Amino acid sequence: MLAAVLSAILLIACTSALQSSIRPHRRLIPSPLQQTTTATDAEGTTPPRCYVVISNLQSGSNVGSICRNALAFNAHAVVVVGRKNFRDKMRQADRGAKERLRFVHVNSVAEARAYLKAPEIDATIVGIEILDDAVPITAQPFTTPATAFMFGNEGGGLSERQREACDRFAYIPQYAADGGMASINVACASAVVLQAFAAWARYPETRRQGEKFV
């Protein structure tokens, strides 16, 4: 009797081992949080670059906040049209971002376009404005090797010269059930746009420490 029981146990163990050995190999798929390479790293090329173009902004707080957003979302450079004292105008609104960002100063919108269209940059210039021919930013109107975002004045939005310098336009959709706002603050708009680009470009997420990014 005991011999029969031992034989049965041995048979079950051998069968389980055999089944395990012939199971098909399962490929391990990394979770989204583990996939931190950029959109083009796998091809060994440079990731898409992002540029921010600001001109004729009235509020130093907005200038500083846009620079803060540009740093947070990995903008390659901030192109400043006109003002040479824009750093002083920010005061503390940038929270130190101006010391870590790359700035390019030009005297006119035409110079900004010439800089961004140079062969070594070759950016598509996207004006952020609510126009009939604009596409939603959620449609990801971004390009490689670079996309530059043109932000307008707090009051009048993009000027005629700025619009002429743009290759295409995008707007930020609103979802209010009972009617939206005419527009949103330009610094807030820059955060939405730059985050959308960074997600599309699959930039690696910045390391966190406690309740902050470092």
pLDDT score recorded for residue 102? 86
> Treating both helix axes as pointing N-terminal to C-terminal, what angle do 186-201 and 60-72 enclose, rounded to 10 degrees?
10
Here the CATH number for the domain that contains residue 102 is: 3.40.1280.10
Residue 11 lies in a domain: no
Residue 20 lies in a domain: no
Number of domains in the chain: 1
Provide the pairing of β-strand 208-209 with 212-213: antiparallel
Residue 1 lies in a domain: no
Higher-pLDDT residue of 1 and 60 is: 60
Residue 27 lies in a domain: no
Q: What is the spatial distance between Cα 47 and Cα 158, in angstroms, rounded to a whole number?
A: 28
pLDDT score recorded for residue 114? 98
Mean pLDDT score across all residues of the chain? 79
Mean pLDDT of 157-183: 94
pLDDT score recorded for residue 95? 52
Residue 9 lies in a domain: no
pLDDT score recorded for residue 153? 87
Higher-pLDDT residue of 95 and 126 is: 126
Higher-pLDDT residue of 9 and 84 is: 84
Residue 29: is its pLDDT beyond 50? no
Residue among 149, 150, 146, 171 at smallest CA distance from 162: 150
pLDDT score recorded for residue 88? 56
Residue 23 lies in a domain: no
Q: Which domain holds residue 197?
A: 44-172+184-202
Residue 157 lies in a domain: yes
Residue 160: is its pLDDT beyond 90? yes
**Do residues 143 and 160 touch, judged by C-beta distance below 8 A?**
no
Residue spans of beta strands (DSSP E) within 1-156: 49-55, 77-81, 103-106, 123-128, 135-136, 146-151
Residue 32 lies in a domain: no
